[in-house]
Structure 1
Amino acid sequence: MAEIIDYGMFAERLKAAPNRWDVLREFHEEWGYAVQPGAPRWDRWTEDEHKAYVRALHGGSEDDRLEGVDPALPIPAALDEWWELPFNSFTHDAQYYETNPVYPPTVRPDPSGYGAAGSLQVGSGLVPPDADQRVCVFMAENQYCNEWGYLAAEAHEPDPRVLVSVSDDEWALQARSISEFFLQLAVQRLPHRLGWSVEVDADDVIDGDLDDLVARIAERMPELGFEPWAELQQDAIVYGGPDVLVFVPDRVQYYISLAGRTPQAVVAQGERLGLKLEEHYLYGPGED
């Protein structure tokens, strides 16, 4: 990793990119991900184990697998493109992600009763009042605390916006497109699994407290250019620096984390932010 990647320039890089798949491929390469020869691949049509278990508990049959799917709605091209990407770390190493795919996407509210979230909240402003208010879910957090989907009203678009369920009856904008969502998901997951990372608390802050640290991060480091990542009842913003990313949730009592392509990048960024970090405290690639 001789070349330093300045993630402080990531927002400009995102704006200039002709498509998100190129950036997603580059991001995989920058963090050292490569599909292993002969690695099994997740079949998009495979029903997730949890849904199959719930269906069996209720005496459902194999014919019920597609309950909740509206066959009249097209599946956006970007979703199928993502499944076929040869470098896709999810389809080859899904354990990195802690999410369940939903394919084909199922609508919310879910007539089968399985999906956790409802339709769009009244007055969301995301679609006109007379438009289809349903959401088509294609990915969910492992415990279904959050679901991600596109608007049924935009299902005909090749790469529609992505929403996230932030409660049983509320949705928020998560990404400007499906392809950007999957790039954002990789940013959230891969650096902590493939790089060197550390979670910091008030004891690591040399000057001030966690609030002071958050202020310094926002002042000195650019955001990556995404919508805040909404998951597990908190929004997180990612900031970029040389070979390093800093993840700041809006509820800082949980954690602030740094992840770098090298341990030296994490320690150096910590010093610039007024943190006392040592390399031997960092988690390395593959460590939990």
Structure 2
Amino acid sequence: MTSSTEHVVDYGQFAARLAAPRTSRWELLSEVQREWGFEPEEWDPEDWDPELWEDEDDEDEDEDEKDEDDDEEARIDRSLPVPVALREWWTWPENTFMANARWYWTHPEMPPTLRPDPTGWGVAKEVPEGSPLLPPGGDRRVCVFMAEYQYCNEWGYAAAEAGQDDPRVLVSVGDEGWVVQDRSVSEHLLHLALMRLPSRLGWTLAVQQNDLDRDPAALARLTAAYPDMGLLPWRELAGDVVLYGGPDLIVRHDRGIADDYVLLLTGRTEAAVREAAALLGAPCANRDPEPPRV
């Protein structure tokens, strides 16, 4: 799988692309996936049941399996609709999560499960009373549709907003509770793809804090040269990641507790990563980008 790099894609203009009106809520995600080399014909959506969240009855289930089913049912409020955008994405033929879930390292929860979780499996609680996220006196529950691999973070939408076609997405972030991750489900799934695909399908160069300490002005040079892509900070595993873009390049800047790196340069081409590395200067001296991992 390789991306076509005949034409430069300037992710410095991504905020304008994000704000532009679209005929389909998946149009921009489709463009991004193709820009990084994904071709939709590489998987068959008919391999997946369009009603995956509707289990068939099985007369041969043993008691343990029935108990598990009862627990699973307790985690779901069937009276709440599943937002249209989430249903669309789940069976969308260009869904890269369905094509290769290992690119994403998250667990789907479909149908969405409640927080607080009456079975105790889910980690997060409800949105606390008095939170500015929701009006007073309403439903404080959250419907989680995806979780980090160890459930350190969970992404969902407010149960009170389940009737919206494309509601905003909240993320659980430890002591902070729930915060807004993205302005809609469709924006969240675009954001997730931007966080996952370039680092696997593109050229990469990681920069740690001790590298940046070699030139305190390097980070300011980089963020001045590459504009913010217009998305909210990505909150995961104590991270607080802002995306910046340039020609054939996406830069991940982790402003949180960065265990692995503060910056990750990801490029559709090796040259794009080398150009950003040259701008950083000393922090990237004598460093070569890593090639795509597929």
Give, as a single letter, the amino acid of the residue that structure 1 aligns with 2:13.
M
The verdict on how the C-alpha distance between 1:168 and 1:91 changes in structure 2, with shifts beyond 3 A counting, is: farther
SS of the residue aligned with 2:235? strand
Which of 2, 7, 31 aligns to 2:11? It is 7
Residue aligning to 1:220: 225
Give the alignment of 1:1-288 within 5 angstroms.
1-18=5-22, 19-35=24-40, 37=42, 41=47, 45=52, 60-167=67-174, 170-201=177-208, 204-205=211-212, 208-209=215-216, 212-251=217-256, 253-254=258-259, 255=261, 256-274=263-281, 277=284, 281-286=288-293
Contact kept? 1:7, 1:242, Cα under 8 Å: yes
Gaps of 5+ in 2: 55-62
- Structure 1 distance, partners of 2:64, 2:231, is 40
AA aligned to 1:222 is P
C-alpha distance in 1 between matches for 2:41 and 2:282: 37
Say if 2:76 and 2:111, in contact at 8 Å, map to a contact too.
yes
Structure 1 CA distance for aligned equivalents of residues 172 and 116 of structure 2:
12
State the AA in 2 paired with 1:197.
T
The answer to whether the Cα contact below 8 Å between 1:267 and 1:277 also exists between their aligned partners in 2 is no
Query: Quick one: which amino acid aligns to residue 208 of structure 2?
Result: D
Q: Displacement, 1:46? A: 6.9
Do the aligned partners of 1:267 and 1:279 also contact (CA within 8 Å) in 2? no
Q: Is contact 1:264–1:279 with CA below 8 Å preserved after alignment?
A: no
CA distance in 1, matches of 2:234, 2:258: 17
Q: Percent identity?
A: 45
Contact 2:18/2:28, CA 8 A, preserved across alignment: yes
C-alpha distance in structure 2 between counterparts of 1:189 and 1:27, whole Å: 12
User: In 1, Cα distance between the equivalents of 2:134 and 2:258?
Assistant: 35
Provide the C-alpha distance between the structure 2 equivalents of 1:7 and 1:236, rounded to a whole number of angstroms.
Answer: 16
CA-atom RMSD, angstroms?
2.6
Normalised by the size of structure 1, how large is the TM-score?
0.87
Q: Secondary structure at the match of 1:95?
A: helix
Change (3 A) 1:167 1:58: farther
Q: CA offsets, 1:180-215, max 9 Å, x none?
A: 000000000000010011101356559623xx3332
Q: Does structure 2 conserve the Cα–Cα contact (< 8 Å) formed by 1:206 and 1:274?
A: no
CA distance in 2, matches of 1:142, 1:252: 18
Inter-partner Cα distance in structure 2 for 1:64 and 1:226: 36
C-alpha distance after superposition, 1:209-266 (max 9, x if no partner): 3xx3332233222111111000001210010000001100113653111000011110
State the secondary structure of the residue aligned to 1:230.
coil
Residues matched between the structures, number: 277
CA distance in 1, matches of 2:114, 2:213: 49
Q: Could you say if the C-alpha distance between residues 279 and 265 of structure 1 is closer, same or farther in structure 2, counting changes exceeding 3 Å?
A: farther
Q: Contact 1:221–1:241 (CA<8 Å) still a contact in 2?
A: yes
Q: Which amino acid aligns with 1:165?
A: S
